[in-house]
Amino acid sequence: MFKALAVGEKHLIMGFRAVGFEIVELEDRAKLLHTLINISSDPDVGLVILTESMAEGNEEAINEFRNRSSAVITLIPTHEGSKHTSFFMVGRAVERSIGIDVLGKDLK
């Protein structure tokens, strides 16, 4: 059975423990790459949810995780509301792959 992990600030992810997620507390964005590399080495991990506030500015760490693991990683908004980080990441990936900005020039 695959494991599901919630990664981010403790106060934002603790509720996921109640529905079976393992919690990986992370208060410093600088440690995200190291944390995701460690998680990617566990073949039992099938799903990782990451707070948008932790992911913001750490696209390289997320891409490295995706290169190392077959687990799904997705971003969740915080109580501050969505910053659309996932949307911007997908938009940049589409533009790089096909050479056309199909989502509009509002991308960061």
| Residue of higher predicted confidence among 86 and 30 | 30
For residue range 74-92, list pLDDT tens digits in order: 888 876 655 555 556 555 5
Query: Once rounded to an integer, what is the mean pLDDT over residues 23-45?
Result: 95
d(CA 35, CA 16): 18
Report yes or no: 41 and 83 within 8 Å, Cβ to Cβ.
no
Query: Once rounded to an integer, what is the mean pLDDT over residues 28-45?
Result: 95
| Residue of higher predicted confidence among 107 and 54 | 54
Which alpha helices (H) appear in 31-84, and where do they start and end?
Answer: 32-40, 52-55, 59-68
The pLDDT value recorded for residue 107 is 46
Architecture of domain 3-81: 3-Layer(aba) Sandwich (3.40)
| Residue of higher predicted confidence among 78 and 65 | 65
Report yes or no: 31 and 48 within 8 Å, Cβ to Cβ.
no
